[in-house]
Amino acid sequence: MCLNKNSFWDFGDSNKDLKKLFVLKNKFFFFFVFILFFLVGLMFHLYQLSLLLTYNFFFMNSCNFSLIFLLDWLSLMFLSVVFLISGCVFLYSLGYMSGDSYVIRFYFLVFMFVCSMFFLIMMPDLMCLILGWDGLGLVSYCLVIYYQSDVSLSSGYLTLFINRLGDLFLILSICWCMNYGCWHYFYLFTFDNLNIYMIFFLILACLTKSAQFPFSSWLPAAMAAPTPVSSLVHSSTLVTAGVYLIIRFSKFLSSDLIFFLINLSLLTVLLSGFGALYENDLSKIIAFSTMGQLSFMIFSIVMGSHYLGFIHLLIHAIFKSLLFLCSGIFISLLMGSQDIRNMGNLGLQSPLISSCFLISLFSSCGVPFYSGFFSKDLIIELVVLSEINFFYLLIFFFSIYLTLVYSFRLFYFLFICKINFMIFNLIDNKYMKVSCLFLLFMSIIFGSCQFWLLDLCYVNVFDEYYKFLIIFFFIYFFIYFNVFTMLNMNLSSFIVYFLSQMWFLPFFSSTFIVSKFFNKSNFLFSLIDLGWTEYLVFTTIYNLIKNLNMHLDSLHLNSLKMYMLSYLMFIFFILMI
Amino acid sequence: MKLNTSKMMFIYVIFMTTLISLSSNNWLTIWIMMETGLFMLIPLMSKNKINDQSMKYFIIQSTSSYILIFSILWNSLNETNLNSLMTLISLMIKIGMPPFHTWKPMMMSNLGWMECLILSTLIKIPPMVLINSLIDLKMLILPLTMTLMVGSISGINQLNLKKLMAYSSIFNLTWMTSSFLLSKKISLTFMIIYSMLNLKTMFFFKLNNLIYTNQMMHMPLKMKLVMNLNLLSISGLPPLSGFFPKWIILNELIKNSIILPSIMVITSVISMFVYIQVNSFSFSNFYVKKKNNKIFWMKNLSAINLIILIAVINLWVY
């Protein structure tokens, strides 16, 4: 018995070691793939190469069904960033999820997530792309409901159904695309313009995936997932899939679509800025910031600079994942409390993670010479230089100003306020710190690195007034800070309620639609099932059969004499005829 | 176990008479074979000496035989064709077709399961052959419709499994008769599948000593499942094998008349309701083991409900 017990415990320890070894191996695998893809992507960019690997399945009705992989610098760079972040997230979750009983399931789900992202990026074929697209939707649902509580279930449903709506749009666009006989991008790029409906449905699918204005309610709800997952989902994988597809199809954006997309992305920026300003949940604030950055990217893409948009996507992926990882550490140090009003003076209590957090926050604001600055600055300059409506320009600058405001609010609540809750430094883990530090390094150098290595040269010449516009806005913000704190205090006001509830989008995307169907169903139930049709159809037939059965039974329950008499009577009757 | 040679002889002679009547070209031979089968069945019935079922059965069957031979003689004297009402009535009494069905549930409720099986399958075949050769469909539409109504509706209030099976055999009489009227291949298909299903069901009831429907709940789940599938198959639920001969019959019959197939379909819904009512007893409770309840698990023939059989039958029929 004793031997058995010992061997059992040995096995348990070795199992634990194996788990760690598995993850570490995975980590090294991911880093290897990251470096490989990064270097190959640089080479492809240098020589302007693109490599297509195709396997034809069959032709049907002159449509080509094939499996196709595309290697060009866009997909390779994107994949390298995905692998970098997923490697860091794997290492991080070794510390973060160590107390969980279903860690293996978690690792497999995250691995499937990365796989489906791989398919999505590598397959330049709408038909094959839906493999990765659906995989992202389903696995994100599984990850959102990972903690198996009521809240996570309802938010998981919201995520699943809105993503399903996006799949629907993509399938519609595939149906339209069947007219062209092929679903490859590269084949479609040979046309001058595509069918308006096809491209419109494709854009709608991208908007649902990237959580833009009418479909944005799922992104804050998806924060019910474990924090490393949200770091992976909201930085580089799920939400950027739509932006990636828009970048691919940016050639076909007609003027109507551009107008539509500009409006929607500016609306989303405003929505997310106000949402982050009035939200008290740390991870939801970061989700709102992600939403804003995504619409910033889409705005830059539709303004014409899709390469800058893509580079901003990569840089944003890195610093946003760092932000999420740091917030995950804060949340775990605060024993699961996510309310920023409980946090305070974190800078003194955990200086290392706080500095990581602050650096990524500065990066997302675009403070000079952090990595976010490089792409963001250029995008703003290009927007200023382009012939854009003054109203749009005002909203654009106001949204950047809102980014600063909610960043400062976060900074204020997390680092300047007095201590509300003593944090538990005992919990922190070396794996979490290592991955954070690695991402910190990357988020400092990655932005400038991109511009040196990819040799992107933008020279913009304009008035110095515009250059300091953001700084004017920043000073403006300091003056009007008290106004916002006053607004924050008065929570009963309708405007504040409206802005903090994402302009009632979660209501309009769930209860508003569902309640109509419930009412209709209730009406039909009372009309049909509880109405007179019940009596007229069911009860009548039932009574008829019951009476017939009674009469037939009275015929059967007799003696043989009666049977014979009845037979003879019948025969006699027949003979009379 | 003692080998009962006389019982074996009776059963073999019943088989023989059925086979001979299937292959005879002479109505008198069929009549003689029918009578022989009847006289072989009566001693089998009278095994239980308390009941007087054999006497009742004898009276009814001999009446019908008299009417049959009378009608045949009468028709031959008049030199008309044999397609007459008297012949039909005699055959209807013989196989228990409504309105002359009243003896059948009472008879079957007092018999053993094996005799019930013979009564509902083998004994019916010679009269069926006579119906096939002597009577045409037009004359039969009214009795067949009546059979469908009675067989489906009177089963609803039954708790006795033997009576229920009697009503089920009355209900399937229509299908059998119409199959015999259509063609030989269809009738063979229907008879084989129907008698296999009946054999399995009744054998199962016999082995587990089931008399009332509420005894179905004292069985393990797997047996309940097999039993329910079997009953649904007799009723003719589409994916199961019992549906397929019925499908073929409907397919052929709809070329001759519209009314009969439509009534068949509607009443088979009611008959299905009867079987589902039986099944609901088995689904209402979990397995409650009775004391001293031996459970016999009949493994052979359990594949009869599988759809694989259909392919074989289809190859055979078409």
Q: Tens of pLDDT along A90-143? A: 888 888 887 777 888 888 888 899 999 999 999 888 888 888 899 999 999 999
Work out the pLDDT band at B16, boundaries 50, 70, 90. very high
Name residue, tokens 């069947």. A178
Where are any strands of DSSP class E within A335-484?
none
pLDDT at position A6 is 39
| Paired sense of beta strands A63-72 and A50-60, if any | antiparallel
How far is it, in rounded angstroms, from Cα B53 to Cα A148? 67
Judged against a pLDDT cut of 70, whether residue B295 lies above it is answered with: no
Inter-chain CB proximity A574 and B63 less than 8 Å: no
3-state class (DSSP) for residue B291: coil
CA distance A546 to chain B (A): 8
Its sign, for the CA torsion A443, A444, A448, A454, is: negative
**Among all residues of chain B, which has the CA nearest to that of A544?**
B153
Judged against a pLDDT cut of 50, whether residue A1 lies above it is answered with: no
Judged against a pLDDT cut of 70, whether residue A477 lies above it is answered with: no
The per-residue pLDDT for range B42-97, each reduced to its tens digit, is 888 877 666 688 888 999 999 999 988 888 888 778 766 655 788 888 889 999 89
Asked if B150 has any chain A CB less than 8 Å from its own CB, the reply is yes
How far is it, in rounded angstroms, from Cα B295 to Cα B281? 18
How far is it, in rounded angstroms, from Cα A38 to Cα A82? 11
**Among all residues of chain B, which has the CA nearest to that of A552?**
B154
Q: Which residues of B touch A553 (CB under 8 A)?
A: 154, 157
How far is it, in rounded angstroms, from Cα A338 to Cα A360? 19
Mean pLDDT over residues B182-189, rounded?
85
Ranking A115-129, A244-258, A458-472, B298-312 by mean pLDDT, the lowest is B298-312
Higher pLDDT: B239 or A490? It is B239
**Among all residues of chain A, which has the CA nearest to that of B64?**
A567
Work out the pLDDT band at A26, boundaries 50, 70, 90. low
The enclosing H or E element of A54 equals strand A50-60
Chain centroid, CA A74 distance in Å? 21
How far is it, in rounded angstroms, from Cα A177 to Cα A275? 37
**Among B residues 44-103, those touching chain A with beta carbons less than 8 Å apart:** 56, 59-60, 63, 67, 85-86, 89, 93, 99-100, 102-103
The enclosing H or E element of A482 equals helix A469-489
Indicate which of A570, A571, A573, A575 best probes the interface with B, i.e. most B CBs within 10 Å of its own CB. Answer: A571
Mean pLDDT over residues A238-243, rounded?
90
Q: Which residues of A touch B102 (CB under 8 A)?
A: 555-556, 558, 563, 566
The three-state DSSP-derived secondary structure of B127-189 is HHHHHHHHCCHHHHHHHHHHHHHHHHHCCCCCCEHHHHHHHHHHHHHHHHHHHHHHCHHHHHH
Judged against a pLDDT cut of 90, whether residue A322 lies above it is answered with: yes
Intra-chain end-to-end CA distance of chain A, in Å = 95
Instruction: Answer for the pair B263, B145: CB distance below 8 angstroms, yes or no.
Output: yes
Judged against a pLDDT cut of 60, whether residue A4 lies above it is answered with: no
Work out the pLDDT band at A21, boundaries 50, 70, 90. low
pLDDT at position A5 is 39
Instruction: Answer for the pair B51, B107: CB distance below 8 angstroms, yes or no.
Output: no
CA distance A538 to chain B (A): 13
3-state class (DSSP) for residue A56: strand
* Helical ranges in A279-305 per DSSP H: 282-302
| Mean of all residue pLDDT scores within chain B | 83
How far is it, in rounded angstroms, from Cα A507 to Cα A529? 30
Q: Which residues of A touch B277 (CB under 8 A)?
A: none
Judged against a pLDDT cut of 50, whether residue A10 lies above it is answered with: no
The per-residue pLDDT for range A394-403, each reduced to its tens digit, is 888 888 888 8
Name residue, tokens 């893409």. A301
How far is it, in rounded angstroms, from Cα A66 to Cα A123? 10
Inter-chain CB proximity A564 and B60 less than 8 Å: yes
Work out the pLDDT band at A440, boundaries 50, 70, 90. very high
C-alpha angle with apex A226: A222 to A232, nearest 5 degrees? 75
Judged against a pLDDT cut of 90, whether residue A205 lies above it is answered with: yes
- For chain B, how many residues are written? 318
Q: Give backbone dihedrals phi and psi of A102, rounded to 5 degrees, phi first.
A: -115, 50
Instruction: Answer for the pair A570, B89: CB distance below 8 angstroms, yes or no.
Output: yes
How far is it, in rounded angstroms, from Cα A290 to Cα B212? 69
Tokens found for residue B106: 């009472």
Q: Which residues of A touch B100 (CB under 8 A)?
A: 567, 570
pLDDT at position B256 is 86
pLDDT at position A266 is 92
Mean pLDDT over residues A447-465, rounded?
79
Inter-chain CB proximity A553 and B89 less than 8 Å: no
Chain centroid, CA A247 distance in Å? 17
Percent of chain A with pLDDT over 90: 18
Higher pLDDT: B261 or A189? It is B261
Name which of A545, A560, A574 is nearest B156 (Cβ-Cβ).
A545
How far is it, in rounded angstroms, from Cα B241 to Cα B245? 8
Inter-chain CB proximity B103 and A563 less than 8 Å: yes
DSSP state of B307: T
How far is it, in rounded angstroms, from Cα A292 to Cα A268? 7
3-state class (DSSP) for residue A125: strand
Indicate which of A543, A553, A554, A563 best probes the interface with B, i.e. most B CBs within 10 Å of its own CB. Answer: A563
The per-residue pLDDT for range A253-279, each reduced to its tens digit, is 888 889 999 999 999 999 998 888 888
Residues 6+ apart with CB under 8 A from A117: A82, A132, A136, A236, A237, A238, A241
Judged against a pLDDT cut of 60, whether residue B300 lies above it is answered with: no
Mean pLDDT over residues A342-370, rounded?
87
* Maximum distance among all Cα pairs of chain A, rounded to whole angstroms: 121
The enclosing H or E element of A52 equals strand A50-60
Asked if A547 has any chain B CB less than 8 Å from its own CB, the reply is no
Pick left, alpha or beta for residue A231 (phi over 0 → left; psi -120 to 50 → alpha; otherwise beta): alpha
What's the ipTM?
A: 0.82
Inter-chain CB proximity A574 and B86 less than 8 Å: yes
pLDDT at position A223 is 86
Inter-chain CB proximity B157 and A545 less than 8 Å: no
Q: Which residues of B touch A567 (CB under 8 A)?
A: 63, 93, 100
Residues 6+ apart with CB under 8 A from B292: none
Name residue, tokens 């009546």. B146
Judged against a pLDDT cut of 80, whether residue A206 lies above it is answered with: yes
DSSP state of B46: T
Judged against a pLDDT cut of 70, whether residue B286 lies above it is answered with: no
Instruction: Answer for the pair A290, A239: CB distance below 8 angstroms, yes or no.
Output: yes
**Among all residues of chain A, which has the CA nearest to that of B60?**
A564
What does B67-99 look like in DSSP terms, one character per residue? HHHHHHHHHHHHT--S--HHHHHHHHHHHT-TT
Instruction: Answer for the pair A142, A225: CB distance below 8 angstroms, yes or no.
Output: no
Give Cα separations from A147 to A100, A114, A143 (angstroms). 10, 20, 8
Higher pLDDT: A332 or A298? It is A298
| Mean of all residue pLDDT scores within chain A | 84
Higher pLDDT: A426 or A540? It is A540
Q: What's the pTM?
A: 0.66
Residues 6+ apart with CB under 8 A from B58: B38, B42
Ranking A284-288, A530-534, B94-98 by mean pLDDT, the lowest is A530-534
Pick left, alpha or beta for residue A48 (phi over 0 → left; psi -120 to 50 → alpha; otherwise beta): left
pLDDT at position B163 is 92
Instruction: Answer for the pair A356, A326: CB distance below 8 angstroms, yes or no.
Output: yes
DSSP state of B290: P
pLDDT at position B83 is 59
On the CB side of A299, how many CA atoms lie within 13 Å of its CA?
A: 31
pLDDT at position B261 is 93
Work out the pLDDT band at B147, boundaries 50, 70, 90. very high
DSSP state of B255: T
Work out the pLDDT band at A289, boundaries 50, 70, 90. very high
pLDDT at position B288 is 64
Judged against a pLDDT cut of 50, whether residue A11 lies above it is answered with: no
Give Cα separations from B160 to A136, A511, A559, B165 (angstroms). 58, 53, 18, 9
Between chain A and chain B, the number of residue pairs with CB atoms below 8 A apart is 47
Its sign, for the CA torsion A496, A502, A505, A506, is: negative
Instruction: Answer for the pair B146, B92: CB distance below 8 angstroms, yes or no.
Output: no
Judged against a pLDDT cut of 80, whether residue A23 lies above it is answered with: no
C-alpha angle with apex B173: B172 to B178, nearest 5 degrees? 100
Inter-chain CB proximity B270 and A545 less than 8 Å: yes
**Among B residues 152-211, those touching chain A with beta carbons less than 8 Å apart:** 153-154, 156-157
pLDDT at position B145 is 92
Q: Which among A294-298, A365-369, A422-426 has the top mean pLDDT?
A: A294-298
Indicate which of A567, A569, A572 best probes the interface with B, i.e. most B CBs within 10 Å of its own CB. Answer: A567
